[in-house]
Amino acid sequence: MKKLFSPPPLPSTVSMEFKGRDLISIADISKDDVFRVLKKARTMIPIAQGAKVDERLKGKVMATLFFEASTRTRLSFESAIQRLGGRVLNFGVPEASSVTKGETLADTIRMVEAYSDVLVLRHPQEGAARLAADFSQKPVINAGDGAGQHPTQTLLDLFTIWDEKGVIEGNRVVLLGDLKYGRTVHSLVYALALLGAELTFVAPPTLQMPREIVEMVNELGHKPEEVEDLRKAIRDADVLYVTRIQKERFPDPQEYQSVAGSYRIDLQILRDAKKDVIIMHPLPRVTEIAPEVDRTPYAIYFKQAFNGVPVRMALLSLILGG
């Protein structure tokens, strides 16, 4: 498909036509484009809730190829296209497809693109979505490639901050957890830096943000704080973005054991937090947020998960020209 950038990505200032585009990395889209998606997403909320009917994508087919587990991303994409009158072609579990017969990703993509108008791909290998886009004439949306990128999660995270706080710029966003293997934070910090938020990284020392991502953020003129003291970081946070330790990405199970359960957000640790802090999490959570936090006004992770529907509706509608 039309390529805007090849890696390493550079910040874009020019708004590009969305129609027919791939979305592989968050660095593929400019600041103006981000706000185009967010503003359109806001208009999609009544349709996402089923309160209004709109069939602007009638006749369009979206193929979902998930080579890795997913609940929210796949279902919210499927809900998004169906709420707009389109249909889903679900590849199912990889075990049920010709992948088990040894078919390559490139061949699978060449088939699926012939059956659909847009492809949504999740894959355990970093770079898989970029490869798929190289083989596909139809737009490819990256729904997570290994520890690489997760750009649509970033758009819904940005939407959530914008919706809750009114602005993104100037908010201090504290990112807590597995910053090394978590793809959601890899995409998100780039966008937050581009949009002028302040960043604090809190992680066990072995799970800090990869240097190349810190450098990308530095190139945007931002200097994230890297701290180990969670209490202090929480005091300054406008947004606390918590992540799960990505157990499945550890090459060594012992390395995982050494960090498992090393942080947890509960009512006690939130005592000194700002009264209007919002707590976000891409989900699924394991033990890193105590269930007691769910009842506080700070907890917006379930609303954040809902926001995946209007944001993906906006994106699909822009890409498919609905």
Name the residues that contact ligand NCD, by CB under 6 A.
72-73, 144, 150, 153, 183-184, 244, 282-283
Write down the least CB distance from residue 7 to ligand NCD, Å: 20
Q: Catalytic residue at 73?
A: yes
* Cβ neighbours around 195 below 10 Å, total: 19
For ligand NCD, the closer CB: 171 or 184: 184
Given the complex with ligand NCD, which of 282 and 322 has the nearer CB atom?
282
Encoding tokens for residue 148? 């690489």
Nearer to ligand NCD, 283 or 319 (CB): 283
- Minimum Å gap between C-beta 65 and ligand NCD is 15
Q: For the CB of residue 318, give the shortest distance to ligand NCD in the complex, in Å.
A: 20
Residue 120 CB, nearest approach to ligand NCD (Å): 12
- Residue from 31, 72, 87, 235 carrying the catalytic annotation: 72
221 in Cβ contact with 199 (< 8 Å): no
CA distances from 280 to 138, 259, 294 (A): 33, 21, 11
For 99, the token pair is: 């992948």
Catalytic residue check, 281:
no
**Is 186 among the catalytic positions?**
no
**For the residues of 104-162, what is the DSSP string, one character each?**
-HHHHHHHHHHH-SEEEEEESSTTHHHHHHHH-SS-EEEEEETTS--HHHHHHHHHHHH
CA distance readout (Å), 291 to 38, 202, 288, 296, 300: 30, 21, 9, 10, 13
Query: How far apart are CB 182 and ligand NCD at their closest, in Å?
Result: 6
| Catalytic, out of 60, 150, 180, 244 | 150
Among 64, 73, 160, 243, which one carries the catalytic annotation?
A: 73
Before 9, cis peptide (omega within 30)? no
User: Which two three-digit tokens encode residue 302?
Assistant: 């379930």
Which one, of 109, 112, 57, 114, lies nearest residue 87 by Cα? 57
38 versus 156: smaller Cβ distance to ligand NCD: 156
Nearer to ligand NCD, 71 or 218 (CB): 71
- Residue number, 224 or 282, with CB nearest to ligand NCD: 282
**Closest listed residue to residue 196, CA positions, set 166, 226, 165, 173:** 173
68: left (phi over 0), alpha (psi -120 to 50) or beta: beta
Least separation in angstroms between CB 178 and ligand NCD = 8
| Nearest residue to 242 (alpha-carbon basis) of 224, 258, 264, 261 | 264
Catalytic residues: 72-73, 101, 122, 150
